[in-house]
Amino acid sequence: MKGTKNIVKKELTRVFTDKKLVINLFVLPGVLIMVMYSIMGSLISKMETDIKTHIPTIYIQNAPEDLDYIIDAVDFEGNITYISSKDSTTHIKDGILKGDIDLLVIFDEGFIETIRSYKDVGDPIPEVRTYYNPSEDYSNAAKGNFTASVLHAYQQSLLAERLGNIEQLQVFYIDRDPEAGIIVDESKANGKFLSMLLPFLINIMLFQGAMGLGMDAITGEKERGTLASMLLSPIKRSEIVFGKLISLGILTSLSAVIYTVSVVVGIQRLADGAMGAMTNIQFTPVQIVQLFVMLIVLVYLYVSMVSIVAVYARTQKEAGTYVTPLYILVMLGCIMTMFSTGGVKELKYYAIPIYNGAIALQDLLVGELTMVKFGVTVGSLAIVAFLITTLITKAFNSERVMFNA
């Protein structure tokens, strides 16, 4: 396998001595992914702060006398204009539609009198109507805040006035300390979150890496006539195939690691600490070995899938067209795991290539990958990859494929 070693060395040298290629393949995508998610995170955070600090413009019609006192008591901030029932609300509703006004609150006429004259079931109950624009963030927030803080507090105060002791209404509590009732394996809970996201990301990144590199390393060389010079050397065609696959595997793994780390770091920033607990995940040595083996086999499969297309394609453009359905297939297999309930799956599912890679990674992250499932997954992926490699070797021996003869 001296030929293989030489080809691997040459392929790696070709990539790593080309500064532009290194920047385009490894640095730029990683940086761009991180920057993109960071910008998104900072924009979202800015937007939230902006909504929080915005002082809403509110119109209140027929406001009861003591409403002012409640607004002060709950520290609700807003540019409030009080209007009477004689005033038209049409221009206010127009203002809400345009986004100039955030909220209109209308109390029924004689609101407080109706409440105070309530004696028994069937007596009239007054209404408070709120008008807002759900497509406007400020309006939406104003409605939510006013209802939750002012109206709720006002309702409680009027109930207390009516009943004398509001605690009479409370017959039992549900979870006064909600945190105390949570029984969870922290590691599994954190893994659960990641297990939804990472199998998809890892698979897609691996395939993308193989796709970008494989086209040039095989179809590109065929097009340029440089592959033929290798075919003239006194080494077995299988040595050339393995040389190509191993070098592509190394480069794909490297780009996948960079992309995945960038995405995870980026999303961490985006989620503003929501994934902070991820670092608490503890892998056992067996799980680490399982993860390593799975990634190696997945890289082998994706590199061979891209390579078989690259070998048969006459031009890089043609290869790009042929590889797209495979890319969609990989995406489909992985998306299915994102939306599954995560229950225990039958063993047969672990024999379905691509899909099995995603579900096995998902199980691994929540600590539920058994050795049998791991074995079936790795075995099935390796068999398919090996079969494709055999086909690639056959194609390398075909003068029709290699020389369009």
Partner 1 sequence: MIQINELTKVYKLTKKQMMEKKTKKNMVKAVDKLSLTARPGEIYGLLGPNGAGKTTALRCIASLLKPTQGNIKVKGYDTVEDSQSVRKTIGFLTNEIKLDPQFSPRYMFGFFGRLHGLDERVIEERREELFDYFGIKDFQDKKIEELSSGMKQKASLAVSLVHNPEVIIFDEPTSGLDIITARNVTDYLKHLRDEGRTVIISTHIMTEAEKLCDRIGIIINGVLVLEGTLTEILDRTNTKDLEDAFFELYKIHNKEEE
Contact residues: partner 1, CB under 8 A: 2-3, 6, 10, 13-14, 17-18, 221, 224-226, 228-236, 399-400, 402-403, 405
3-class state of residue 107 by DSSP: strand
Nearest Cα to 42, choosing from 261, 263, 264, 272?
A: 272
Residue 206 beta carbon to partner 1: minimum distance, rounded to whole angstroms? 25
Give the other-Cβ count within 10 Å of 58's Cβ.
25
Q: What's the min distance (Å) between Cβ of 9 and partner 1?
A: 8
Strand partners, 103: 58
- Whether the Cβ atoms of residue 299 and residue 252 lie closer than 8 Å to each other: yes
Shortest distance, position 43 Cβ to partner 1, whole Å:
41
Beta carbon of residue 266, minimum distance to partner 1 (angstroms, whole number): 32
- Minimum CB separation of residue 231 from partner 1 in Å reads 6
Smaller CB distance to partner 1: residue 293 or 402? Answer: 402
Question: In terms of C-beta density within 10 A (0-12 exposed, 13-18 middle, 19 or more buried), how is residue 30 classed?
Answer: buried
Q: Do the beta carbons of residue 176 and residue 269 sit within 8 Å?
A: no
Cβ 391 to partner 1 shortest distance, Å: 19
Indicate the residue among 2 and 348 with the shorter CB distance to partner 1.
2
Nearer to partner 1, 168 or 226 (CB): 226
Q: Spell 270-309 as b/e; 16+ CB within 10 A means b.
A: beeeebeeeeebeeeeebeebbeebbebbbbbbbbbbbbb
Containing 84, the helix (H) or strand (E) segment is none
Q: How far is the CB of 2 from partner 1 (least distance, A)?
A: 7
What is the smallest separation between the CB atom of 11 and partner 1, expressed in angstroms?
10
Using the minimum distance from each CB to partner 1, give the nearer residue, 6 or 38: 6
Nearer to partner 1, 81 or 397 (CB): 397
User: Smaller CB distance to partner 1: residue 139 or 219?
Assistant: 219
φ and ψ at 66, to 5 degrees?
-85, 5
Rounded to 10 degrees, the C-alpha dihedral 335/336/337/339 comes to 90
Pairing of strands 128-131, 103-107: antiparallel
Nearest to 361 by CA among 379, 347, 378: 378
Residue closer to partner 1 (CB basis): 220 or 379: 220
Instruction: Give the residue with the Cβ less far from partner 1, 143 or 237.
Output: 237
Q: Are 307 and 332 contacting, i.e. CB atoms less than 8 angstroms apart?
A: no
Closer residue to partner 1 in complex, CB, 198/217: 217
The least CB distance from residue 5 to partner 1, in Å, is 9
Q: Torsions phi, psi of 356, nearest 5? A: -65, -35
- Alpha-carbon distances of 188 from 42, 178, 179, 283, rounded to whole Å: 29, 20, 18, 11
CA 29, chain centre distance (Å):
17
Number of H helices, E strands in the chain: 17, 4
C-beta of 255: minimal distance to partner 1 in Å?
19
Nearer CB in complex with partner 1: 233/370: 233
Cβ pair 51, 137 in contact under 8 A: yes
314 C-beta neighbours (distance < 10 Å), count: 12
Amino acid found at 294: M
Residues 272, 42 contacting (CB under 8 angstroms) = no
Quote the strand ranges of 73-210, DSSP E. Answer: 79-83, 103-107, 128-131
Q: Rounded to the nearest whole angstrom, what is the least distance from the CB of residue 212 to partner 1 in the complex?
A: 16
Nearer to partner 1, 235 or 352 (CB): 235
